[in-house]
Structure 1
Amino acid sequence: MTPPRRPDPPPMRTNDVRVALVGTVAWAVALAVLLVAGTPSGDRWWLWVCVTGVVTGLFGVWYIPRLQAGRERLEASRAARREAAVEEAAQPAAQAEAAAGPGATRQDAVTRSPEPSETSETSEADV
């Protein structure tokens, strides 16, 4: 038998914009070195690789904060929906306890709770 699995640790918070900025600066330094020293044997594609790295890095610096904000909004809305579902699930139990009357036990409330309604639109007669 395997031991029970430990829960996952929370996600590590990192500064992704700083990482993208450091990469962008590295590509810019490589571009400057190539412009000053010249490209090896006249291959100009090295320059374009560096330019692409700088442009991609600048896009990352612009995009990452928007991506993280969107993820935080999504997580907040999911948490709100979970809380609403928990509250909604707690309401029928409270109503059943109130319907059981004073002096009734929790078991009495459960046995006297109304039957769940049929959620399917088709019945056995339709099948």
Structure 2
Amino acid sequence: MDVDGVRTMTVGTILWAVLAIALIPFWGTLREDGTQWWLWTALAGFGLGLLGIEYCRRRRNALEARQAARPSGGGGRRRK
């Protein structure tokens, strides 16, 4: 399971980019039909996906740093 989300965000971002590229040849048709928003939605999905990848990478790195900073002993204080 992809716990940190980096792979999931990367796959989603790639799919948005492929969709945007696939829509570019149909720019004229989209403009005539009033559905240009399809392309803009795909581009927005790609852009937000890039931000999401960076967010997930930073989160993953912070979690790894926190895990590395923990003592590897018996798990902290003992209760009586």
Distance in 1 between residues matched to 2:5 and 2:16, nearest whole Å: 17
Which of residues 32, 36, 47 is equivalent to 1:55?
Answer: 47
Q: Percent identity?
A: 31
Correspondence for 2:20: 31
Give the aligned residue type for 1:19.
T
Structure 1 unmatched ranges of 5 or more: 1-11, 91-127
Relative to structure 1, the CA distance from residue 67 to residue 15 in structure 2 (aligned partners, 3 Å threshold; closer, same or farther) is: closer
TM-score (normalised: structure 2): 0.67
- Who is 1:72 aligned against? 64
Unaligned runs of 5+ in 2: none
Q: Aligned partners of 1:52 and 1:64: how far apart in 2?
A: 18
RMSD: 2.7
Task: Report 1 or 2 for greater relative contact order, CA contacts < 8 Å, sequence distance ≥ 6.
Answer: 2
